[in-house]
Amino acid sequence: MTIEVGTDTAKTRRELSVGGKTYAYYSLDAATEAGLGDFSKLPAALKVVLENILRFEDGGATVSTDDAKAFADWAAKGGKNPREIAYRPARVLMQDFTGVPAVVDLAAMRDGIVGLGGDAQKINPLNPVDLVIDHSVMIDEFGNPRAFQMNVDREYERNMERYQFLKWGQTAFQNFRVVPPGTGICHQVNLEYLAQTVWTDADQDGTEVAYPDTLVGTDSHTTMVNGAAVLGWGVGGIEAEAAMLGQPISMLIPEVVGFELTGQMVEGTTGTDLVLKVVEMLREKGVVGKFVEFYGAGLDTLPLADRATIANMAPEYGATCGFFPIDGETLRYLRTTGRDEDRIALVEAYAKANGMWRDADYAPVYTDTLHLDMGTIVPAISGPKRPQDYIALDRAAKAFGEYVKGVRSGEDASAKAEIRWEGEGGAPEPVDIPGDEGHHARGYINGGEADRAQMHDGSIVIASITSCTNTSNPYVMIGAGLVARKAREKGLNRKPWVKTSLAPGSQVVSAYLEAAELQEDLDAIGFNLVGYGCTTCIGNSGPLAPEISKCINDNDLIATSVLSGNRNFEGRISPDVRANYLASPPLVVAYALVGDMNVDITTEPLGQDQDGNDVFLKDIWPSQAEIAELVERTVTREAFQEKYADVFKGDEKWQAVDVPQQETYDWPPTSTYVQNPPYFQGMGPDAGEIEDVVGARVLAVLGDMITTDHISPAGSFKETSPAGQYLKERQVPVREFNSYGSRRGNHEVMMRGTFANIRIRNEMLDGVEGGYTLGPDGEQTSIYDAAMAWQEKGVPLVVFGGEQYGAGSSRDWAAKGTALLGVKAVIAESFERIHRSNLVGMGVIPFEFTGGDTRKSLGLTGQEEVTIKGLGDVKPLQEVEAQIKMADGSEKTITLKCRIDTAVEIDYIKNGGVLHYVLRNLAAPAVAAE
């Protein structure tokens, strides 16, 4: 990247000498001296954004001084001044589920620009891009020493087409690196290796310029790196692609909510317990579209690993990011994780010189504040459907019972099915149920009476230590290993119906678990290494044993999972599991031992020891001193340096992936993983006007908290689904279906998977779950088939929703699929930030109800026709009228707020999407020359 120096902002440029080297930097003090305003009371997170404004030119002209002055006004006005600004992050982070479609789009844009008479080489990332392959490994094998290698082998078998495509992208595009499979989770690799906290680059004169490390990522948990004072958040793939290609991110100066932490964590609690409380508090506060910055004396005792856990969960509490300023703990972490000493010295010097250092006097202005005494934190879990559904651990069993009662609505909540274990006679032919060595179980469904074990509502069938959120934290990982050790010493083991797994976020985790001799203990109770990746947290939990799955489904059981992840939305973890709970890794181990959510593990025994004595949670829970001693001894700088020495090299399998060297991609016509998308086919050189929505029919009427998982699921799908039928028609066996997430490079699969979550409920239908609606003939059909039928008739579509529409992942396919189904507008009570932006980026207009109107108050049934006119000259956030023709022929006129938020988004909609806008701009010189 080349840094441009504008004449108006050059006066804010100063020099900084560190360790014998001199760097240029853009000084906020100098900006004050230049008369741009007093920035001393800005939160550190906003100072990072302001520095970005000072450093860059906007569209060839220098940044307006009014943009910089707006930040001073923000502080003077008590933390509010929603001025539109152009923000340019230093780099982009991707993972393979979201990265594959992004690279597909870039490859298609190369074809598109050639079609417009332009140069394919103009389609190249201008900023550094790192793509980490972490979302593809699936837990097929578990509970044995072979699990890791067998899962890796299956990963390559399933995904070779995708990996060939990504490796082609690495050779074809500049500024694009790929971290191979089996390395770790993108956010943990980012935190432990890629991030620098203060970045450096040469300007056009060759001068080294120091500036804050910033990024956007195509995964919502990009926010994790804010724990290391790196400002970053998740965006949709389409927005990230625009940023790669030099487009600024258009945003409003955000409000910043200060979250004061005081006190310190008490014995028996973990960083996970803290973050679950933080999520609950911030969701209740309401921080959507806002920055959250953490401050207070409590940070003095809060390790960066715990900070990263809190920052990671920003999408769960709804904020754009959760930022921690630079302080001594930041430097300690950078040193432990192997960063260069010169870099660490620069981070400290830069932060102190530019007012971004947190010390005892740090007291910025915030829009609003909250306070939490960490000494009040208690052990907790969260579930069964949302991360913000906080439950103190001593209430967990009771809360589950209440949930079951609600689900059953008067049915017998004790309904259960039985599985009998080895040693029984008179049963059907036994079938193996996976178990660890020496504890191999054989299952008989509804067999005889002897030695009977039961599966019932609340049986825990998945216990997974997974996800970037917690496996990046050595305190909870070492804690989990110690729980396993103490349980093993007392002769406890996981229950045989529990599918256990350990999927660390980086190879460093394995290094310190092995150094502490804890991996052997984890192995002994079934938590063998299954892979380095997201696994269960992203829905790649893999299949349950057939007998377990059959038992659950035949008896309509409410099976449960417990995972150390960040997401527990309906239908995400496993199609067989209805209730999902987030917990710390040590609690995941404990729940695997008891195997039942109905057990109050704070008071009831987890099992019996070798002598028949009850063993309680307190008997196997490690002290903070035990954990700290092992962390100090085994989490070393040398381990990080060794594991990241060849991070881009990969294993023999990756090195053997062979790809052609060519600047445009030769799309394989028979591929079911990668297809040339239709976005740019037949695109002309000029944008059009925004078209009115006239006579649109309703594709779906959806409720509150419809997540991007509901709209575009990531997990497995059945052969009876439209996506399954598509693959069957192409002779793909069911065993090779893989997942929606792995097939995001194929728009045909993803269109068919849009609104196809097995738990989504379309209120047009009565009590039906899954991706169904009414077609033009009035009969129930799949949403995909209905959309295609309406498209054939030339009829536009709309979707209605409730509050927080599009919550959850930064899943661009939730917007891409919506657009490809022919949806022109989504009308909801409120939108989550990323999905609203993604809809605009795909040319779909988001609208919000006003004046108290909702889908319910209007009595919408899905039989209506919707017309929204006056869009040709619509302005950002303008209110417009919509006419709704009801099923009985009557009409209602309502006012909607158009959620095209900024002027540049108007241009995106006019062009049909942000990528069309970028492509036309890049091709413009070639078109003009003709």
Each domain of the chain, given as residue ranges in start order, spans 10-87, 380-635, 693-712+754-911
| Integer CA distances (angstroms), 96 to 175, 237, 344, 534, in order | 17, 11, 30, 11
E strand or H helix at 159, and its extent?
helix 147-172
Residue 534 confidence (pLDDT): 82
Is-cis flag, bond preceding 384, omega within 30? yes
Please tell me the distance from the alpha carbon of residue 479 to that of residue 1, in angstroms, as a whole number.
42
Model confidence at 412: pLDDT above 70: no
Sorted by sequence, the CB contacts under 8 Å of residue 665 that are 6+ apart come out as 107, 110, 111, 165, 168, 172
pLDDT at residue number 293? 98
- CA 828/CA 821 separation, integer angstroms: 18
Which residues, including other chains, have CB under 8 Å from residue 737's CB and lie 6 or more apart? Answer: 716, 717, 719, 724, 727
Residue 930's contacts (CB-CB under 8 Å, 6 or more residues apart) are 117
226 phi, psi to nearest 5 deg: -60, -20
% pLDDT > 70, the chain: 93
* Integer angstrom CA distances of residue 911 from 311, 584, 690: 35, 46, 8
Choose among 531, 630, 431, 649: nearest CA to 135: 531
**Tell me, what's the pLDDT at 819?**
97
Q: Which residues pair with 769 in a beta bridge?
A: 761
**Segments of 527-610 assigned E as strands:** 560-563, 579-582, 607-608
Among candidates 815, 154, 218, which has minimal Cα distance to 540? 154
What's the rounded Cα separation, in Å, for the pair 225 and 307?
9
Closest to 589 in 3D by CA, of 474, 470, 503, 502: 502
pLDDT value of residue 97 = 83
Whether 609 contacts 492, CB under 8 Å = yes
Type of residue at 136 = S
Question: What does the mean pLDDT of the chain come to?
Answer: 89
- From 112-116, 260-264, 318-322, the region with the lowest mean pLDDT: 112-116
Q: Is the pLDDT of residue 890 over 60?
A: yes
pLDDT of 856 reads 96
Tell which wins on pLDDT, 443 or 737: 737
pLDDT higher than 80, residue 831: yes
pLDDT at 441 over 60: no
CB 42 within 8 A of CB 53: no
Q: Count of CB atoms within 10 A of residue 80's CB?
A: 15
The predicted-structure confidence for 652-685, as pLDDT tens digits, reads as follows 999 999 888 889 999 999 999 999 999 888 888 8
- Contacts for 853 with CB less than 8 Å, ≥ 6 apart: 894, 895
* Structural contact between residues 247 and 231, judged by C-beta atoms closer than 8 angstroms: no
446: pLDDT confidence band, cut at 50, 70 and 90? very low
Task: Please determine, for residue 432, whether its predicted confidence score (pLDDT) is greater than 50.
Answer: no
Instruction: With a cut of 60, say whether residue 565 has pLDDT above it.
Output: yes
Q: How far is CA 721 from the centre of its chain?
A: 25
Cα–Cα distance, 266 to 452 (Å, whole number): 41
Residue-wise burial string across 640-651, b where 16 or more C-beta atoms lie within 10 A, e elsewhere: beebbeebeebe
Structure tokens belonging to residue 86: 């152009």
Report the C-alpha gap between 926 and 930 in whole angstroms.
Answer: 7
Phi, psi for residue 772 in degrees, rounded to 5? -125, 155
The pTM score is 0.82
- Kindly tell me if the per-residue pLDDT of 454 is higher than 80: no
pLDDT of residue 253 exceeding 70, the answer is yes
pLDDT (average), residues 321-338: 97
Q: Which of 877, 879, 874, 916 is nearest to 900 (CA)?
A: 877
Q: Which CATH class is domain 380-635?
A: alpha beta
pLDDT confidence of residue 5: 36
Cβ neighbour number for residue 331 with a 10 Å cutoff: 18
Q: List, in order, residues 6 or more apart from 189 with CB less than 8 Å away.
A: 132, 134, 179, 183, 505, 506, 647
Q: Write down the residue that tokens 């394995």 correspond to.
A: 510
The predicted pLDDT at position 926 comes to 55
Q: Comparing 203 with 38, which gets the higher pLDDT?
A: 38
As a whole number of angstroms, the distance between CA 405 and CA 413 comes to 6
Radius of gyration of the chain (CA): 27
Give the CA dihedral 653, 655, 656, 661, nearest 10 degrees.
140
Element (H, E) at 112: helix 96-115
State how far the Cα of 746 lies from the Cα of 809, in Å rounded to an integer: 19
The beta-strand segments (E) located in 398-494 are 416-420, 431-433, 441-445, 452-456, 460-465
| Amino acid letter for position 337 | T
Sheet holding 416-420, edge to edge: 431-433, 441-445, 416-420, 452-456
**pLDDT grade for 418, boundaries at 50, 70 and 90:** very low
Averaged pLDDT, 457-473? 89
Look-up of token digits 């109800």: 849
Q: What's the mean pLDDT in 748-753? A: 97
Write out the two tokens for 112: 């598109």
Rounded Cα–Cα distance for residues 825 and 68 (Å)? 35
User: For residues 922 and 874, which has the higher predicted lDDT (pLDDT)?
Assistant: 874
**pLDDT over 50 (residue 100):** yes
What per-residue confidence (pLDDT) applies to 428?
29
Pick the CATH number of 693-712+754-911 from 3.40.50.1370, 3.20.19.10, 3.20.20.330, 3.40.50.2300: 3.20.19.10
Contacts 24+ apart (CB under 8 A), 204-210: 204/2, 204/3, 204/4, 204/5, 207/24, 208/21, 208/22, 208/23, 208/24, 209/3, 209/23, 209/24, 209/25, 209/26, 209/55, 210/16, 210/23, 210/24, 210/25, 210/346, 210/350
Q: What is the pLDDT of residues 475-524, one digit of tens each?
A: 999 999 999 999 999 999 999 999 999 999 899 999 999 999 999 999 99
Give the pLDDT score at 50: 96
Closest CA to 137 of 443, 413, 408, 530: 530
Taking each helix axis from N to C end, the angle separating 833-841 and 237-244, rounded to the nearest 10 degrees, works out to: 70
Tell me: the pLDDT tens digits for 585-613?
Answer: 999 999 999 999 999 999 999 999 999 99
Decide if pLDDT at 2 tops 50.
Answer: no
Q: CA 115, CA 107: separation in Å to the nearest integer? A: 13
Q: What are the pLDDT digits (tens) for 517-555? A: 999 999 999 999 998 888 777 777 888 999 999 999 998
Sign of the CA dihedral with 416 first, then 422, 423, and 426 last: positive
Burial 52-67, CB ≥16 within 10 A → b, else e: bbbbbbbeeeebebeb
- 563 forms beta bridges with 464, 582
**pLDDT of amino acid 442:** 33
Q: Residue 304: what are its φ and ψ, rounded to 5°?
A: -60, -30
| Range from 556-565, 667-676, 735-744, 759-768 carrying the lowest mean pLDDT | 735-744
Residue that wins the pLDDT comparison between 647 and 570: 647
Residue 809, pLDDT score: 75
Our CA dihedral for 543, 549, 552, 555, rounded to 10 degrees, sits at 150
- Helix, strand, coil in percent for the chain, rounding step 5: 35, 20, 45
* pLDDT tens-place string over residues 339-383: 999 999 999 999 999 999 999 999 999 999 999 999 999 999 999
| pLDDT, average across residues 25-49 | 95
pLDDT given for residue 569 in this prediction: 77
Q: Please say whether the beta carbons of 304 and 337 come within 8 A.
A: no
Q: Which residue, chain included where needed, has tokens 């695997």?
A: 592
Neighbours of 850 (CB within 10 A): 12
| pLDDT at residue 205 in the model | 84
* Cα(885)–Cα(858) distance, integer angstroms: 11
CA distance 663 to 18: 42
Is 476:585 a contact under the CB 8 Å cutoff? yes
Q: Give bridge partners of residue 761 from the DSSP assignment.
A: 769
